[in-house]
Amino acid sequence: MSYPAQPFKDKEFARKFYELMVRSRVLEEKLIRMAKSDDGFFWIGGPGEEAFNISLGLQVKKGHGLEHDFLHLHYRNNGTLLAMGSPMIDFIRQMKNSKNDPFSGGRNFVSHVCKKEWNVVPATSTIETQYSVSPGTARAQWRARQQGKDAGVTIVVGGDAGSAEGDFATCLIWASRPEQELPMLIIVTNNSYGISTSAETQHGEKNVSDRGKAFGIETLVCDGNNPERIWSSIEKGLDYVRGSGRPFILEAKVSRLNGHSSSSGANRVDEPDCIEIFERKLLKNAWITEEEISDIRKSAQAEVNKAHEEVRKEPYPDAGTFQDHTYADGKRGGIPGRDF
C-alpha cells in the first residue's frame, strides 16, 4: 500500500485515519456494552490504542504466505485488523461466541483474533508467549530472503508488564543470533500497567526497549497517542526491518482508557485520548467540522448497531462440534474408539 510521503500533511489521508480511529473506538464501546449487558461474557480490548492500531494496520504488507507480513498480536489490537479491512461484525461475532465467529468459531474471548488469509496467527491469552513463537515465522522469512525471494517481516505486539516473562528475553536472543538476525518488528505497547500493578513498582529499567540494546538491536520509544509520531515510528521500524532484515524494537507509550478489562469494570479513566488529540488538530487545521465529526461517529454507530442486530440472531456453535478441528482437516479429538 502506498501513502503520501508525509501522510499527516494530507487532508484526505488524515480524515481517513481519523475515521478509522473512530470506527475502532465505537466498536470497542459496543463490545464493552455487550459484555455489560450479558451479550457476551468478557471484554478486553484496545480503547486508547487507536493511533497505534490504525498506523500498524495500514502499514502491514497484508496477505498469506512468506512474502507477506506475519502478525503475532496482543488482545488490544482489534483496530489493526479493522484498518486492514476486517468488518466490524467479525469482532462482534467473537464477542457473542457466535458460530460464525471467523477468528475462533465461538471458542475464544473477544479480541483474540486469528486470520490465516492475512498471516494473523492465533492471539492467545497466555501473556508473552507470542514473543517465543514469532521468531519462528521470522526465521522462515529470513530463509526466504537468504534464497533471494521476496519476503515480508514478522511483527509481534504485547504489553509492558508481560515483558518480565522469559519469552521477551527469548525473543531478543533468537532475533539477534550472529549472522542469523531475524526480520522482526518487536513492539511493546506500554500502558504502564499489568492489570492493577504499576510498572514503576516492578521495573527498574528506564524503558523496556532498552533491553534490546544489549543485543545490538535498534530501539525507539515513541508517543503512541500522537498519530503522526506513532505512524512515522512504525514506518521507520518497518523500513529498517524490511531493508536490513534485522530486528527493531518499538516501544509505544499508550493509554488504557477503559482499564484492563471488564473484570475491572471497563469504565473510562482519565488518561490522554489519542482521538481527542487528533480531533483538535484536525479542527485547528480546518480539515474537519464539528458536524462532520458528529456524522462520522453516527455512521460508525449505525454500522456497529447493524452488525450487532445481525449477530443477535446467530446461534452459538452446535454443541456437537466441540471436538471438531482438534486435529488438521477438521478431525476430532477425544477418546479413541469412542469419539472418533
Partner 1 sequence: MANMAQAIRLALHYGEKNLGVTDIFGEDVGAPLGGVFTCTQGLKTTWNTPLDERGIVGHAIGLALAGQKPVAEIQFCDYIFNTIDLLKLAGNSCWSSNGQYPLDMVLMTPHGAGIHGSIYHSHSFDAWATRLPGWKIVIPSNPLDAYGLMLAALEDPNPVMYLAPKALLRSKGKEKIPGEPDEAELKKAIDAPIGDRQNWEPQWPAIQRHLQPLGKAKQVRQGNSATIVTYGRHVQMSQQVADELSSKGMGEVRVIDLCTLYPYDWEAISKAVLETGKILFVNEDTEITNFGEHLLRRVIDEHYYQLKARPRVLAAQHVPGVGLAPTLEEATVPQKKDIEKAITEILQERT
Closest CA to 234 of 254, 214, 216, 215: 254
Binding to partner 1 by residue 110, rule CB under 8 A?
A: no
Binding to ligand TPP by residue 322, rule CB under 6 A?
A: no
Cβ-Cβ contacts under 8 Å for 38 (sequence gap 6 or more):
none
Cα–Cα distances in Å, from 232 out to 7, 208, 248, 252, 305?
9, 20, 14, 12, 33
162 binds, among partner 1, ligand TPP, none (CB under 5 to 8 A by kind): ligand TPP
101 binds, among ligand TPP, partner 1, none (CB under 5 to 8 A by kind): partner 1
Do the bridges between strand 197-198 and strand 193-194 make them parallel or antiparallel, or are there none, so unpaired? Answer: antiparallel
Alpha helices in 204-315 (DSSP H): 227-244, 274-284, 290-312
> Which residue from 4, 87, 166, 265 is in contact with partner 1, where contact means CB under 8 A?
166
- Cell digits for 272? 490522554
Site pattern 171..200 for partner 1 (x: CB under 8 A): --xx--x-----------------------
Binding to partner 1 by residue 63, rule CB under 8 A?
A: no
> Which residue from 26, 44, 138, 187 is in contact with partner 1, where contact means CB under 8 A?
138
Using the rule CB under 8 A, give the single segment among 21-29, 107-115, 201-209, 223-231 that binds partner 1: 107-115
Binding to ligand TPP by residue 265, rule CB under 6 A?
A: no
Phi and psi at residue 114, to the nearest 5°:
-165, 125
Binding to partner 1 by residue 133, rule CB under 8 A?
A: yes
Q: CB 19: neighbour CB atoms within 10 A?
A: 18
Site pattern 269..308 for partner 1 (x: CB under 8 A): ----------------------------------------
76 binds, among ligand TPP, partner 1, none (CB under 5 to 8 A by kind): ligand TPP
Terminal-residue alpha carbon distance, the chain = 46
Binding to partner 1 by residue 41, rule CB under 8 A?
A: no
